[in-house]
Amino acid sequence: MRASRLVSLLLLLQTRDGMTAQELADALDVTVRTIYRDVEALSAVGVPVYGEPGHGGGYRLLGGYRTRLTGLTTAEAESLFLTGLPTAAAQLGLATAASTARLKLTAALPADLRGRADRIADRFHFDAPSWYRDGERIPHLSTIADATWNQHVARIRYLRWAKPHEISRTVQPHGLVLKAGQWYLVARGHSQSCGHGRFRTCRVSRILQAQVLAERFDRADGFDLATHWNGYLDHFERRRLRETVTLRLSRHGLDRLPHLLEPAAIAAAVRTQSEPGPDGWTELAVPVESVEAALPKLLRLGADAEVLAPEDLREQVIQTLQAMGRIYGSRTSDACPKDREDAMATLIDKIAWIHLVEGRVLGARSRGKDVYYIPGGKREPGETDLDTLVREIDEELCVAIIADSAIHVGTYEAQAHGHVAGVTVRMTCYTADHRGTPVPSSEIEELAWLAYADRDRVAPVDQIIFDDLHRAGRLQ
């Protein structure tokens, strides 16, 4: 155990300009007193390690000294290729360098260890993106990576959810993070107008333009990317789950809740859980992102949940259930649903979600229909645009729209497909982030990614939307 630690200490000093006893103790997970003893042991066997007192001091190796204790153990050789991230390396423009480095490392290993390392590479593969998610376009990642690596100031223009949506900033890129298949830039503001000294995080796929400037910058003293990122995630979770819903749940509803909500929300809810009443039902307070986002999730609990507060969410649940009752309770023998709708109104008010990925838009086709349409549906009485958007997309695609990320794209009108002449459909369209993977509900026959060449396969109002998106360069 000690011999392995001595080798690790020696390699740390060989790869660093110098380290204090405390830094070495932290890196090796031992006490400072143990470091003192280990340094004495190295000196006793002729390793030229010396210490410098005072600020900026620490332990160093005599200039030019190199150890030959760099051989890999069997376990280290086996784990060698578990560190490979070929997709990430390619996105950063380092695919060739990473491949060459792997070949050199493999060639340097003894024959028996080379075989074990190759066997690991053949049996384990790392795939970072989540299921059913097409990779986002990140054309500016290599530019940002170059600025980060070489410590050059960068000028970026990016898209954000707050207004104004497009904003330009001059930043000092301090690091890139790959999280669940998404790249994020951690950068410090360079000028007073850009929040000088303040660190910000943005998704690289939302960067619209990037320019590396000739000016260089010094990294912030003591900045550690992993520590900063973990702190950012903690703050993000606390800031995101900013509202609370009080529920009353049956035993079955309590068992199902972890399958509908994220771990952070469940952990907080469990701490407020009351003792079951005589009927077996339990009350608890659940942190949620927003009332709009909570509604579709809680409806999935059906008769196993009752919303006690807030009152506006309880009212939305009641209105939704009443609307469903009208749909399923209104049955007549002399008219089909479409005929009743045409007789009642000449304007159909719909809200739609435009979901674009790599120049294609998500389309849906209902059962028994011959055309595709942009996912969405009709507004219920008393609903806002976002109320309808969240509800309809959850019902059709089983995903949760993040309401405060919604951006209005436009409102379009045309003759309603499949209705009598004179019936107009008004389609109010939004883009928005979402959680979950779009999958067709029971009322949807098929989902498809449509290009502008598919214009003739969609309803008339969607054709107008296709034209608009194509002119804007968003639909290929």
Backbone Cα Rg of the chain:
29
CATH number at 2-61: 1.10.10.10
Residue 181 zone, left/alpha/beta (φ > 0; ψ -120 to 50; rest): left
- DSSP label at 276? P
Residue 279 CB partners (closer than 8 Å, separation 6+): none
Q: Look at residues 386, 391, 418 and name the one whose alpha carbon lies nearest to residue 405.
A: 386
Q: Give, in degrees to the nearest 5, the angle at Cα 380 between 444 and 322.
A: 95
pLDDT at 335: 46
Burial (0-12, 13-18, 19+ Cβ within 10 Å), 162: exposed
Dihedral sign for Cα 26, 27, 28, 29, please. Answer: positive
Q: Report the largest interatomic distance among the alpha carbons of the chain, rounded to a whole angstrom.
A: 101
Query: To 10 degrees, the CA torsion angle through 16, 21, 24, 29?
Result: 180
Nearest CA to 257 out of 290, 285, 292 is that of 285
Q: Strand order in 305-309's β-sheet?
A: 282-288, 243-249, 305-309
Residues of the chain by 3-state class (helix, strand, coil), percent to 5: 40, 25, 30
User: Could you tell me which of 164, 197, 308 has the C-alpha nearest to residue 244?
Assistant: 308
Residue written as tokens 């997309």?
Answer: 393
In contact, 79 and 119? CB cutoff 8 Å = no
Q: Is residue 8 helix, strand or coil?
A: helix
CATH superfamily of 337-471: Nucleoside Triphosphate Pyrophosphohydrolase (3.90.79.10)
Task: Return the pLDDT at 70.
Answer: 52
Tokens representing 131 are 């299921």
- The CATH topology of domain 141-239 is SH3 type barrels. (2.30.30)
Low-confidence ranges of the chain (pLDDT < 70): 1, 64, 66-90, 93-122, 124-136, 193-195, 329-346
Pairing mode of beta strands 207-216, 152-159: antiparallel
Spatial neighbors of 157 by CB under 8 A, at least 6 apart, are 166, 167, 168, 207, 208, 209, 210
pLDDT score of 333: 41
115-118 — which CB contacts under 8 Å span 24+ positions? 116/74, 116/77, 116/78, 117/77, 117/78, 117/80, 117/81, 118/81
From CA 241, how far away is CA 263, in angstroms rounded?
12
CATH 3.30.750 fits 243-329, yes or no: no
Residue 344's pLDDT is what? 45
Asked if 2-61 and 141-239 have one fold, the answer is no
Alpha-carbon gap, residue 283 to 245, rounded angstroms: 11
pLDDT of residue 16: 74
Q: What is the torsion angle, in degrees rounded to the nearest 10, for the CA atoms of residue 195, residue 196, residue 197 and residue 198?
A: 10
Contact predicate 415/421, CB 8 Å: yes
Looking at the DSSP assignment, which residues form a beta bridge with residue 159?
Answer: 166
Alpha carbon distance 248, 259 (integer Å): 17
Q: What are phi and psi of 359, to 5 degrees?
A: 80, 10
CA 30 vs CA 9, 26, 176: distances in Å: 11, 7, 31
pLDDT of residue 152: 96
Backbone angles phi, psi at 424, to 5 degrees: -105, 140
Tokens 């003739």 map to which residue? 456
For the chain, give every domain's residue range.
2-61, 74-123, 141-239, 243-329, 337-471
Handedness of CA 450, 349, 438, 365 (dihedral sign): negative
Question: What pLDDT is stored for residue 475 in this prediction?
Answer: 92
